[in-house]
Structure 1
Amino acid sequence: MPDPVQHLSAESLIGDWLDHPTGRTVLIDLLARRSPDARALYAIRMLPLSTLATLSNGVITTEHLDLMVEAANRLIDQPSVHPATAHLFPSAPPPAPNDWREPLVEGRFDGKTVVVTGAGSGIGRATALRVAREGGRVLAVDLSTLRMEALLERNQDLDVSGVVADISTQSGVDKIAAEVGNRLDGLAIVAGIADDMVALHEVEDELWESVFRINVDGPFRLSRALIPVMLSRGSGSIINVSSQAGLRGSIAGAAYTASKHAVIGLTRSAAFIYSPRGIRVNAVIPRPTKVALESNYGSLGGAGPVPSLSLTSPDIESAQIASPMTYLLSDDAANVTGAILPADEGWGIA
């Protein structure tokens, strides 16, 4: 660690800033105001601080860095002794993003059957595997035969079976329901598609109808078909995946934004109606991840992975969101229903 009295500059390594008790506090404070994941710095600690202006695509400017250098060196020369701020120095470093380890709860889903849609990749895949590793029987649903084959081939030691089906069609839903039979404890509806930031007056019918067919009709049709199985047993848990676009208007285009608002409405209505009958219904709001949504319309999802401001690996990103998903699916959340749970590292409060 550098000498605590050593001054810092824009050409000091990010690692030197992170290792310096005062520099770390100033650096993470700045990043916390302009990025959802300051921990990403730990993956680029061997680069000079000045590179943040380029890597952030203008979110952090050279003027921000100059002010930060000035503030850090002023605090180094004149440490705060004010009782209201003295606890800030020195600060403890947060864990590096890829240091996270999935906290499996052995046996949490023993004897339970859970359906997970969108299970071939991303959050759906991570949720399906987490439930199976914790003892559950998983019926994985995905639209892609190749993704489904890969999931089953790589996890033959787990109790995972697969159905290739489109949840937005009645035939696809009937296919899933036939596999479920008369036992279902949990349903995680993850599958969805993006739009392409199209403004309301530019949205074509085909885009609107496709986004709503997958993002709203799919959860509606599948829930409608499988809720009676849960009602027959007097218990069950349903998790819908919404989005920051379900809470505000600045995340996506009109079609996707409206569809994710609809998912939250569907969640709250079902939670109110079915809570007295033993079924819990909640929604999770993930942060953007590196795993792309399905899209045929030139959207961020169709063009490649959704941009993420985190340098965390895609598998860890998805598993971190699967963690609250599986909590809500499990009996640990026995008294939680109607919750709209952000799993976004504070991304949505900026």
Structure 2
Amino acid sequence: MGTLENRLQGKVVVITGGTSGIGLAAAARVLEEGGTVVVTGRDSGRGADALAELDSGRAHFAQHDVTSRESWRVLLDQVAERHGRVDGLVNNAGRSATAAPFEQESQEAWEGILATNLSGVFHGMQAVIPVMREAGGGSIVNVSSAGGLVGLPLTATYAATKWGLRGLTRVAALELAHRGIRVNSVHPGMVYTPMTVESAGVVEGEGNYPPAPVGRVAGAGEIAGAITYLLSDDASYTTGAEIAVDGGWTAGISPRALLGDELAAALLG
């Protein structure tokens, strides 16, 4: 097993939606651990900003639309030409929930979120598998959600895509294990990112998220740690797994949320 400084040494990792939030944090961790990273996104301006923040000759940006099979083909051709291989793929690009009751969810929202969150991952996995198979193996990490482990009201389309990722992940893990390709999913709880600030008004700090037993939202770097573990050879015996990084949210109801702060403190200390 490698040390934190070198366990991704020599590995080439592609991260979709890598210009901000969890994707950007994961890219930084890949670099810290010795790897080369290709971050993708639709906006070249945000790509330039991400590269400036990463500040490494081993970080590259590719303009890319995850919903397009042709864009996936072009991306992987570019990465193969430049780096000769793809060792890891992090399917991180996604759209957030629309916060609408089930019966009011629009067809536009259904089709748009499905195209990015589920079909985009499907296209990416199909595109990268032959590349990894030829190289003798690799690691695919699908970023799902804690909302793909439990029912979450007002997220019908989003939940369908995140639960769907579990199925794609497990089937691919079963089919590809003998090829040396590992496929796992990470399920973040509430995370402080530009997207969650804009869509849900998420606030950092202790005590700002009572639904999670730890009482706070995650930082993007805390999710990145799980992602880079799965990319590394430290996870060589891990495939088909679902790793919740959610502050205990899916374990059950937080004592503070169930009992209130004062009673929880009196009973639990």
TM-score (norm 1): 0.64
Q: Decide whether the 8 Å contact of 2:218 with 2:247 is kept in 1.
A: no
Partner of 2:12: 113
Are residues 1:311 and 2:205 paired?
Answer: yes
Q: Kindly provide the amino acid, as one letter, of the partner of residue 121 in structure 2.
A: P
Q: How does 1:116-155 map to 2 (within 5 A)?
A: 116-155=15-54
Partner of 1:346: 248
Q: Decide whether the 8 Å contact of 2:190 with 2:217 is kept in 1.
A: no
Deviations along 1:41-94, one digit per CA (max 9) or x if unpaired, are xxxxxxxxxxxxxxxxxxxxxxxxxxxxxxxxxxxxxxxxxxxxxxxxxxxxxx
Q: Kindly provide the amino acid, as one letter, of the partner of residue 254 in structure 1.
A: A
Shift of 1:196: 1.6
Q: Which has the larger radius of gyration?
A: 1
Compared with structure 1, are the counterparts of its residues 252 and 236 closer, same or farther at alpha carbon in structure 2 (3 Å cutoff)?
A: farther
Partner of 2:191: 289
Give distance in 1, aligned partners of 2:219 and 2:26.
12
Partner of 2:117: 215
Partner of 2:88: 186
Are residues 1:325 and 2:219 paired?
Answer: no
Compared with structure 1, are the counterparts of its residues 106 and 315 closer, same or farther at alpha carbon in structure 2 (3 Å cutoff)?
A: farther
Give distance in 1, aligned partners of 2:45 and 2:200.
21
Give distance in 1, aligned partners of 2:153 and 2:102.
14
Q: Kindly provide the amino acid, as one letter, of the partner of residue 186 in structure 1.
A: G
Shift of 1:292: 4.2
Q: Kindly provide the amino acid, as one letter, of the partner of residue 129 in structure 2.
A: I
Q: How does 1:219-298 map to 2 (within 5 A)?
A: 219-250=121-152, 252-293=154-195
Q: Kindly provide the amino acid, as one letter, of the partner of residue 243 in structure 1.
A: S
Count, aligned residues:
239
Compared with structure 1, are the counterparts of its residues 160 and 109 closer, same or farther at alpha carbon in structure 2 (3 Å cutoff)?
A: same
Q: Decide whether the 8 Å contact of 2:9 with 2:33 is kept in 1.
A: yes
Q: For 1:229, what is the secondary structure of its paired residue?
A: helix
TM-score (norm 2): 0.83
> Comparing both chains, which one has the higher relative contact order based on Cα–Cα distances under 8 Å and sequence gaps of 6 or more?
2
Partner of 2:73: 174
Structure 1 unmatched runs, 5+: 1-103, 294-300
RMSD, matched Cα: 2.2
Shift of 1:170: 2.0
The structure carrying a bigger strand percent of its residues is 2
Partner of 1:197: 99
Shift of 1:161: 0.6
Structure 1 segments, 4+ long, off by >6 Å, are: none
Give distance in 2, aligned partners of 1:256 and 1:282.
19
Q: For 1:198, what is the secondary structure of its paired residue?
A: coil
Q: For 1:151, what is the secondary structure of its paired residue?
A: helix
Q: Decide whether the 8 Å contact of 1:133 with 1:158 is kept in 2.
A: no
Give distance in 2, aligned partners of 1:284 and 1:345.
13
